[in-house]
Structure 1
Amino acid sequence: MILTSKFLPCRSFPICNLLRNTMEKGTLTPSRIVFLSKTAIDGCIQKRVVQTAGMIGLCIVLFFSVPMAFGQDTGKIKLAAFDYQPFFYQESNEIHGLGVDLGNELFRRLHLETELTLYPLKRALEYMKDGTVDAIMILVKTPERERFLVYSEPLVPAKGYIWSAADRQGGPVNFERLEDLRPYKIGVTVGYSYGGPMDAFLKSINTDAAPQEYLSFKKLMAHRVDIVPATDIIAGSMIKKHPEFHGKFAHSSKPFHEADYYMGIGKKSGLAQMVPLLNKTITEMKAEGFVDKIIKKYTE
């Protein structure tokens, strides 16, 4: 059976573009039709022509349950990024990073167009709440954010360690429980989550906050703070990128947190109805080694 996109005129929604592209490429199998029909737009695609070897004009009706709207109805997925190296950063007026590479590949496989804009994190999350933005490719899952976001399956694994200056007398700071860190001056980054237990602990003490993780590590190198919590990905990428950081830091023997980064999708976005398809594609990317390849690109 061969489907045609000849009678698929709607270009207002990305799901239509996905169906159109897969039709034209000849990759829309019956099972994929069923899968996509569960995530498409109510009434947007109905009574489309099916061509078979012996009959033209057989019509099928795909019934959809949820209307979908995407970032200000531009026909593109509106993605937000924030200054969070190595996941997102701006160079020469272009946004780069691990999260950008993963997002580009994810939506390339889905034949969907995207529009990426860099915002401060707090503003990006506000835009997710009101539906201005559809998704952020890399986010930590928190109870507060779950009120207005849905999440993909885990995308990037990470371990959070306590980092110290390499020349610290007595070696790196180790701990058995978070309370052991209370005597130290801790450098943190404004607006970031370090996981539930660490977030709660940091609220109970005075911290030295910086607008960027890079600045926290500069303070650590200058002994203006004693320790900095950070994931292996973030610290590894900074050490790789900045020669002045080579050999300057050491981390605790055990992590304070093991977690994953997720793709966060606004509940007001039509993209939330496509989570099963997003997860399926993410699973394929991980199984093929693509995600690990991108992580190594930025950290080794």
Structure 2
Amino acid sequence: MRFPSWLLMLLLFQACHATPLRLVTFDYPPYVTEGDQGPEGLATSIVSEAFARIGKHAQIKLYPMNRALNLVSQRQVDGLFPLKKTPERELTMVYPHQPLLIQDYVFFVRKNSPWKFNGQLASIAGARIGITRNVFYSPRLDQALKAGLFAAVDSTDSHELNLRKLLAGRVDIVPCSRTVALQLLQTMPGGNNAVQTGPSIEKVASYLVFTPGPEAAKLAALFDQTMTRMTKDGSLNRLMANELRRQQQAPMRIH
């Protein structure tokens, strides 16, 4: 009797590796939030279910984003999520083929702002932009940042701080995952004074990445195979529906 290659890989992996997988993440609502029992949210649910199917217990801990990145670079943990792909990161981290999330990145401005994004980055040339350190937004926005398109670039350590700076008038425009920004703005005093301007900058994929090591490639392959099966059997849609019910979002007016 022939067994599928993915099943043989899974059985071998389970037999040899009973220790928990140490994964780190960071506050990224609504995809990752701190719950009473530890990290929760859609990304956390997907990762937990995928490794439960693999038969590998995933210990997931939440840290500030820069600390989580340092733990991976110092090889003190086995992986990190969610993280976007860049050529530099691919040199030091092992990426699966299957993304964990695909997000719409958009610009936010204050109500009545003169800055309006029309789909071309030239339309917001000269604005003061707020960005989050160690975040890759999209190829074309990163290129514009390097080219000096904006009058000033203000960097901070979190999306929340960026949005607070926007509300306070310290920057003119902030790029962010639409879903993440909407969630954060709902928790801020005066959050309804920020609005999305224009269309999506780009759809960007985020991944679960693994620390380089003898098992990293096997883990990435198993994760890919499990994500494919979860897509086919409807599990991913079920997890998304559960999270949407758990965290209802108010619609945001387009500027």
TM-score normalised by structure 2 residue count: 0.80
1:225 aligns with 2:165: no
| Inter-partner Cα distance in structure 2 for 1:87 and 1:133 | 21
Q: Among residues 238, 262, 265, which one is paired with 2:184 in the alignment?
A: 238
> CA 1:245–1:151 in 2, change beyond 3 Å: closer, same or farther?
farther
SS of structure 2 residue aligned to 1:173: coil
| Runs of 5+ unmatched residues, structure 2 | 250-255
Count residues in correspondence: 241
Aligned to 2:197: 252
**Superposition deviation, residue 78 in structure 1:** 0.7
Aligned to 1:183: 126
- 1:83–1:120 Cα contact (<8 Å) kept: yes
**Superposition deviation, residue 178 in structure 1:** 2.1
Aligned to 1:159: 104
| Inter-partner Cα distance in structure 2 for 1:37 and 1:93 | 33
SS of structure 1 residue aligned to 2:184: helix
Aligned to 1:37: 8
Q: Among residues 188, 203, 210, which one is paired with 2:156 in the alignment?
A: 210
- 1:80–1:135 Cα contact (<8 Å) kept: yes
List structure 1 runs of 4+ shifted beyond 4 angstroms: 39-42
Q: Among residues 112, 115, 121, which one is paired with 2:65 in the alignment?
A: 121
Q: Is 145-154 or 245-254 further displaced after alignment?
A: 245-254
| Inter-partner Cα distance in structure 2 for 1:298 and 1:252 | 24
| Runs of 5+ unmatched residues, structure 1 | 2-29, 46-67
Aligned to 1:150: 94
SS of structure 1 residue aligned to 2:203: strand
> CA 1:196–1:248 in 2, change beyond 3 Å: closer, same or farther?
same
AA aligned to 2:107 is: I
TM-score normalised by structure 1 residue count: 0.69
Q: State the identity %.
A: 24
| Inter-partner Cα distance in structure 2 for 1:257 and 1:89 | 24
| Inter-partner Cα distance in structure 1 for 2:77 and 2:48 | 16
| Inter-partner Cα distance in structure 2 for 1:138 and 1:221 | 26
| Inter-partner Cα distance in structure 2 for 1:282 and 1:248 | 39
- 1:79–1:136 Cα contact (<8 Å) kept: yes
SS of structure 2 residue aligned to 1:239: helix
Aligned to 1:50: none
Per-residue CA distance 1:233-287 (angstroms, 9 max, x = gap):
21122234x1635532221221112121121122325142132321222123334
What pairs with 1:87-102 in structure 2 (closer than 5 Å)?
87-90=31-34, 94-102=38-46
Aligned to 1:265: 210
1:194 aligns with 2:142: no
